[in-house]
Amino acid sequence: MKKENIKKNKTYYPDFDILNSIKEWDPITTNIVLKRLGPFPELKFLNKDEEQKLIIIIKHLIYDNRDNIINWIIHFIDQRLDDNKGEYQRKPNSPPEDILIRDGLKALDNLAKKRHNKNFLSTKVKKQFNMLASLQQGKADKIPDWQNIPQKVLFDKLLVLTVSAYYSHPTIWSEIGFGGPAYPRGYYRIEFGITDPWEAQQKNSTEEES
């Protein structure tokens, strides 16, 4: 999946930039949101090989090749796996998420070697996609790794972490027309179908075609 072949993300809100609302946020909120733009500190949990595998997986999951978005997702996942606070929930017989991801990424290499005699990073894009699709369905080739790493649980965890980070990035907020933090400004036009003046305004089809 080459970067030059990825078209610019389409948005119904081309004139909307959530960062124009920054003056409405309190200092703590502002600091949290702006940190998602980088630069990011060195990774604490993920090693280089794990980082490269996750970059490929993330691109397959969100169809977005923008480095600034990918870097935030990697940083988000690294922080999460390095955190000792624990998970909000975990399925029975599933390892903690740090072990699930680390051993799961190793399992992907073993799966790729069984299927294609190559590690995951060395396989072609379509084959990488097919391996991830087989994980989603719980139908990947039998390898010893799956005794401790449930396939569907691994895929779901990778998806949840990726999507959670993706839709917390200010650029994505702008593209989907999300108004960002409501505090302390708040919303006052709460009737159905009515927006506040500062909210994103969707361009109609006529405007898009012109």
Segment 59-84 shows an average pLDDT of: 95
Above 80 in pLDDT, residue 2? no
Q: What was the pLDDT predicted at 9?
A: 65
Residue pair 145/106 in contact (Cβ under 8 Å)? The answer is yes
pTM for this predicted structure: 0.87
Cα 51 to chain centroid distance, Å, stands at 13
Q: What is the mean pLDDT of residues 37-42?
A: 95
Phi, psi of 113, deg, nearest 5: -65, -35
In this predicted structure, the answer to whether residue 6 has a pLDDT above a threshold of 50 is no
What is the rounded end-to-end Cα distance, in angstroms, of the chain? 31
Q: Which tens digit of pLDDT belongs to each residue from 26-35? A: 999 999 999 9
How many whole angstroms separate alpha carbon 58 and alpha carbon 74? 9
Q: What is the pLDDT of residues 88-144, one digit of tens each?
A: 778 788 899 999 999 999 999 999 999 999 999 999 999 999 999 999 999 999 999
d(CA 67, CA 151): 28
In tens, the pLDDT along 154-187 reads 999 999 999 999 999 999 999 999 988 887 777 7
Domain ranges of the chain: 3-209
Q: How high is the pLDDT of residue 208?
A: 45
The radius of gyration of the chain's CA atoms, rounded to the nearest angstrom, is: 20
- Computed from CA positions of residues 175, 176, 180, 186, in that sequence, does the dihedral angle turn out positive or negative? positive
The Cα–Cα gap between 91 and 160 comes to 14
Are 14 and 200 within 8 A, CB to CB? Answer: no
